[in-house]
Structure 1
Amino acid sequence: MTTLTDRPNTALLVVDVQNGVMRVAHERDAVVANIAALVSKARAAGVDVVWVQHSSEELPRDSETWRFVPELELRPSEPVVHKEYGDSFEATDLEEVLAARGVGRLVVAGAQTDACIRSTLHGAIARGYDAALVADAHTTEDLTAYGAPSPAAVIAHTNLYWQFQTAPGRTAGTVPTAEVDFSVKAPA
């Protein structure tokens, strides 16, 4: 259903599951376990896994905080997209990586819910991709000291509104890890 022609494939997009991001993430261990399960499912189904890695003052390249969490093992054949903005498409080669693989549908997981996950979802759908958010495989840190809702509320609200997201010729929505089925192909 993507509006991108000749792009029937799906990719799992794992966003910013890095040591510095996940260190104080809400329900970190459960989210990382769900992402690991998604990675296994995608690989078993022959679906591309694309990793996104953020760099910033807090996450300097090649630092321990910048590295992916040790529970997740990247394969050399899996692309890593380096970014400096919230939207994983902005000033990166993500579009080229996905186009080369014929990807028009994204299954999105990672961190942080209220920043890079939301930005990437909106960036994807605005660019013509179908974009499903894995409801129990994204997280954020506690920013209540700055007036934000609790992490659980941020996650619940994002799941609520993305469940009903639509755009002409594109699909969105949420799905729990247990119901993600990469073996189901998009209609031609």
Structure 2
Amino acid sequence: MTTLENRPNTALLVVDVQNGVVAGAHRRDAAVGNIGSLVERARREGVPVLWVQQTDDELAKGSEKWQIVPELAPDDAEPRIEKGYGDSFEETTLEAELSGLGVGRLFVVGAQTDACIRATLHGAFVRGYDTTLVSDAHTTEDLTEWGAPPPAQVIAHTNLYWAHETAPGRTAGTVETEEVDFGGTS
């Protein structure tokens, strides 16, 4: 139902699954494992996989912290998007890449739930994409010392509100890794 014309395709968007982002993340290995499973399935089904990487003072391009975690291996043919803001669309080539692939529907996975995942979900949705969050394939670090809820609550709350997000002509929602259907509606 995307509001984007002539964009019938689906893509998997992998956001910031970088060494320096997920090193201390809640249930890191489970989230990364689910992401890896989705990447493999998307490739088998011919669904584009796009990789987003935060670049900033703490995640300098080319540094060990900036690299995608070793459990995941982007294919050389898969687009890699560098970003400097939470929303993966802001001042990046993401929209052009998705347009070129005819994509109007996104499955979003990665880190950090309470920052770049939320910003990217909203960024995609307001731009007209059908946007599904894979509920067990995103994670965040513990920011309780700065007043944030514990990571499990941040993840649960994000899953809760995104499952009920609505807007005209677009769909949102959540789905678990095992229930992802790249060919149909979520």
TM-score, normalised with respect to structure 1: 0.97
2:119 matched to 1:136? no
Give the Cα–Cα distance (whole angstroms) in 1 for the partners of residues 30 and 92 of structure 2. Answer: 29
How do 1:103-142 and structure 2 match up within 5 A? Answer: 103-142=103-142
- The superposition leaves residues 101-150 of structure 1 with CA deviations (integer Å, 9 ceiling, x where unpaired) of 00000000000000000000000000000000000000000000000000
CA–CA separation in structure 1 for the residues paired with 2:41 and 2:109: 13
Opposite residue 167 of structure 1, the aligned amino acid is: A
Amino acid at match of 1:48: P
Q: Distance in 1 between matches of 2:102 and 2:67?
A: 28
CA RMSD of aligned residues (A): 0.7
Letter in 2 for 1:65: K
Q: Deviations over 1:35-59 (max 9, x none)?
A: 0000011111100000000011110
Stretches of structure 2 that go unaligned for 5 or more consecutive residues are none
Runs of 4+ with >3 A deviation: none
Aligned ranges 1:65-76 → 2 under 5 Å = 65-76=65-76
Give the match's secondary structure for 2:172.
coil
Question: How far, CA to CA, are the matches of 1:53 and 1:167 in structure 2?
Answer: 28
Q: How many residues of Structure 1 are paired with residues of Structure 2 in the alignment?
A: 185
Tell me if 1:28 matches 2:43.
no
Measure, in 1, the Cα distance between the counterparts of 2:181 and 2:130: 15
> Deviation of residue 185 (structure 1)?
4.0
Aligned equivalents of 1:51, 1:180: Cα separation in 2: 18
Partners in 1 of 2:184 and 2:17 — Cα distance? 27
TM-score, with length taken from structure 2: 0.98
